[in-house]
Structure 1
Amino acid sequence: MTERGQCMLKRTVRGSHQLSAESIAKDLQILCGLQISITSVRKELHGMGFHG
Protein backbone atom coordinates (compact mmCIF):
# COMPACT_ATOMS: atom_id res chain seq x y z
CA MET A 1 0.00 0.00 0.00
CA THR A 2 1.27 3.47 -0.81
CA GLU A 3 1.78 6.26 1.71
CA ARG A 4 -1.27 8.03 0.31
CA GLY A 5 -3.34 4.91 0.87
CA GLN A 6 -2.08 4.60 4.42
CA CYS A 7 -3.00 8.23 5.12
CA MET A 8 -6.50 7.68 3.75
CA LEU A 9 -6.81 4.53 5.86
CA LYS A 10 -5.83 6.44 9.02
CA ARG A 11 -8.31 9.22 8.25
CA THR A 12 -11.09 6.74 7.63
CA VAL A 13 -10.47 4.93 10.92
CA ARG A 14 -10.08 8.10 12.96
CA GLY A 15 -13.38 9.41 11.59
CA SER A 16 -15.31 6.46 12.95
CA HIS A 17 -13.82 3.84 15.26
CA GLN A 18 -16.70 1.39 14.82
CA LEU A 19 -16.21 0.57 11.11
CA SER A 20 -15.63 -3.00 10.02
CA ALA A 21 -12.69 -3.96 7.83
CA GLU A 22 -15.13 -4.62 4.98
CA SER A 23 -16.67 -1.14 5.19
CA ILE A 24 -13.22 0.46 5.41
CA ALA A 25 -12.14 -1.38 2.25
CA LYS A 26 -15.29 -0.19 0.46
CA ASP A 27 -14.74 3.39 1.65
CA LEU A 28 -11.16 3.39 0.37
CA GLN A 29 -12.32 2.06 -2.97
CA ILE A 30 -14.94 4.80 -3.28
CA LEU A 31 -12.84 7.68 -1.91
CA CYS A 32 -9.54 7.15 -3.70
CA GLY A 33 -10.00 4.22 -6.05
CA LEU A 34 -7.82 1.81 -4.07
CA GLN A 35 -8.46 -1.88 -4.61
CA ILE A 36 -7.62 -3.42 -1.24
CA SER A 37 -8.73 -6.65 0.36
CA ILE A 38 -10.25 -6.92 3.81
CA THR A 39 -7.23 -8.94 4.97
CA SER A 40 -4.87 -6.21 3.77
CA VAL A 41 -6.91 -3.59 5.64
CA ARG A 42 -6.58 -5.63 8.83
CA LYS A 43 -2.83 -6.11 8.34
CA GLU A 44 -2.23 -2.42 7.63
CA LEU A 45 -4.24 -1.33 10.66
CA HIS A 46 -2.43 -3.79 12.89
CA GLY A 47 0.90 -2.49 11.58
CA MET A 48 -0.18 1.08 12.35
CA GLY A 49 -0.97 0.16 15.94
CA PHE A 50 -4.74 -0.15 15.69
CA HIS A 51 -5.95 -3.25 17.48
CA GLY A 52 -9.48 -4.34 18.01
Structure 2
Amino acid sequence: MGKAKYLSAVEQGMVVGARRTGLSVSRTATLLCFSCSTFYQELPHKLTEQDRQLLKCVLHKNHLSSVTTLTTEYQTASGSNVSTKTVRRELHEMGFHGRAATHKTKITMHCPNSLLEW
Protein backbone atom coordinates (compact mmCIF):
# COMPACT_ATOMS: atom_id res chain seq x y z
CA MET A 1 0.00 0.00 0.00
CA GLY A 2 1.14 3.49 -0.74
CA LYS A 3 1.26 6.36 1.66
CA ALA A 4 -1.90 8.36 2.16
CA LYS A 5 -1.86 11.70 0.37
CA TYR A 6 -3.33 14.58 2.32
CA LEU A 7 -4.60 17.63 0.48
CA SER A 8 -3.22 21.11 1.06
CA ALA A 9 -5.51 23.99 2.03
CA VAL A 10 -5.64 25.19 -1.59
CA GLU A 11 -6.48 21.72 -2.88
CA GLN A 12 -9.15 21.32 -0.21
CA GLY A 13 -10.65 24.65 -1.30
CA MET A 14 -10.75 23.47 -4.90
CA VAL A 15 -12.47 20.24 -3.85
CA VAL A 16 -15.06 22.08 -1.74
CA GLY A 17 -15.73 24.52 -4.57
CA ALA A 18 -16.18 21.74 -7.10
CA ARG A 19 -18.46 19.77 -4.79
CA ARG A 20 -20.61 22.85 -4.08
CA THR A 21 -21.24 23.26 -7.79
CA GLY A 22 -22.86 19.84 -7.71
CA LEU A 23 -20.11 17.66 -9.16
CA SER A 24 -19.87 14.09 -7.92
CA VAL A 25 -16.82 12.84 -6.03
CA SER A 26 -15.63 10.78 -8.99
CA ARG A 27 -16.05 13.69 -11.44
CA THR A 28 -14.24 16.06 -9.05
CA ALA A 29 -11.42 13.56 -8.65
CA THR A 30 -11.07 13.26 -12.42
CA LEU A 31 -10.99 17.03 -12.92
CA LEU A 32 -8.43 17.63 -10.17
CA CYS A 33 -6.33 14.53 -10.96
CA PHE A 34 -6.79 12.85 -7.57
CA SER A 35 -8.01 9.42 -6.63
CA CYS A 36 -11.48 9.06 -5.09
CA SER A 37 -10.01 7.43 -1.97
CA THR A 38 -8.10 10.65 -1.25
CA PHE A 39 -11.40 12.51 -0.93
CA TYR A 40 -12.95 9.98 1.38
CA GLN A 41 -9.97 10.25 3.75
CA GLU A 42 -10.36 14.03 3.80
CA LEU A 43 -14.11 14.24 4.42
CA PRO A 44 -14.91 15.64 7.86
CA HIS A 45 -17.33 13.95 10.20
CA LYS A 46 -20.77 15.49 10.30
CA LEU A 47 -21.20 14.61 13.96
CA THR A 48 -19.05 16.00 16.75
CA GLU A 49 -17.73 13.85 19.56
CA GLN A 50 -20.62 14.95 21.80
CA ASP A 51 -23.08 13.99 19.06
CA ARG A 52 -21.47 10.56 18.80
CA GLN A 53 -21.77 10.04 22.56
CA LEU A 54 -25.45 10.96 22.38
CA LEU A 55 -25.94 8.59 19.44
CA LYS A 56 -24.26 5.83 21.43
CA CYS A 57 -26.63 6.46 24.37
CA VAL A 58 -29.65 6.30 22.05
CA LEU A 59 -28.30 3.08 20.58
CA HIS A 60 -27.79 1.44 23.99
CA LYS A 61 -31.37 2.29 25.00
CA ASN A 62 -32.82 0.66 21.89
CA HIS A 63 -30.14 -1.64 20.51
CA LEU A 64 -32.63 -3.77 18.56
CA SER A 65 -34.18 -0.84 16.70
CA SER A 66 -33.82 -0.14 13.00
CA VAL A 67 -31.57 2.64 11.76
CA THR A 68 -34.56 4.80 10.81
CA THR A 69 -35.95 4.51 14.34
CA LEU A 70 -32.55 5.32 15.82
CA THR A 71 -32.26 8.33 13.52
CA THR A 72 -35.61 9.78 14.57
CA GLU A 73 -34.87 9.21 18.26
CA TYR A 74 -31.45 10.81 17.86
CA GLN A 75 -32.97 13.79 16.05
CA THR A 76 -35.50 14.38 18.82
CA ALA A 77 -32.82 14.02 21.51
CA SER A 78 -30.24 16.29 19.86
CA GLY A 79 -32.39 18.66 17.84
CA SER A 80 -30.15 18.24 14.79
CA ASN A 81 -31.27 17.04 11.37
CA VAL A 82 -29.14 14.15 10.08
CA SER A 83 -29.90 11.46 7.54
CA THR A 84 -30.12 7.74 8.18
CA LYS A 85 -27.08 7.29 5.97
CA THR A 86 -25.03 9.54 8.28
CA VAL A 87 -26.21 7.66 11.36
CA ARG A 88 -25.39 4.31 9.73
CA ARG A 89 -21.92 5.55 8.71
CA GLU A 90 -21.15 6.87 12.20
CA LEU A 91 -22.34 3.63 13.82
CA HIS A 92 -20.10 1.62 11.50
CA GLU A 93 -17.13 3.81 12.38
CA MET A 94 -17.88 3.32 16.09
CA GLY A 95 -17.79 -0.44 15.55
CA PHE A 96 -21.50 -1.25 15.55
CA HIS A 97 -22.67 -3.47 12.72
CA GLY A 98 -26.09 -4.93 12.10
CA ARG A 99 -26.05 -8.68 11.98
CA ALA A 100 -28.91 -11.10 11.58
CA ALA A 101 -28.75 -14.69 12.69
CA THR A 102 -29.13 -17.27 9.98
CA HIS A 103 -32.03 -19.63 10.15
CA LYS A 104 -30.76 -23.14 10.62
CA THR A 105 -32.72 -26.30 10.23
CA LYS A 106 -33.32 -28.32 13.34
CA ILE A 107 -31.46 -31.59 13.14
CA THR A 108 -32.87 -34.43 15.19
CA MET A 109 -31.89 -38.03 15.33
CA HIS A 110 -34.56 -40.22 13.83
CA CYS A 111 -34.55 -43.69 15.30
CA PRO A 112 -36.96 -46.44 14.41
CA ASN A 113 -39.03 -47.78 17.31
CA SER A 114 -37.24 -51.10 17.20
CA LEU A 115 -33.91 -49.45 18.11
CA LEU A 116 -35.43 -47.59 21.04
CA GLU A 117 -36.57 -50.82 22.69
CA TRP A 118 -33.04 -52.16 23.12
1:38 and 2:84 equivalent? Answer: yes
* Superposition TM-score, scaled by structure 1 size: 0.90
What does residue 8 of structure 1 align with?
54
- State the identity as a percent: 37
More helix by share: 1
Alpha-carbon separation, structure 1, partners of 2:50 and 2:65 = 20
* Aligned residues: CA RMSD: 0.8
The CA deviation string for residues 1-52 of structure 1, in whole angstroms up to 9 with x for no partner, is 1111101110011112111111111111111102110001110000000011
**Which 4+ runs in 1 deviate beyond 6 A?**
none
In the alignment, structure 2 segments of 5+ residues that lack a partner are 1-46, 99-118
Looking at both structures, which has the greater relative contact order when contacts are Cα pairs under 8 Å and sequence separation is at least 6?
Answer: 1
* Superposition TM-score, scaled by structure 2 size: 0.42
In the alignment, structure 1 segments of 5+ residues that lack a partner are none
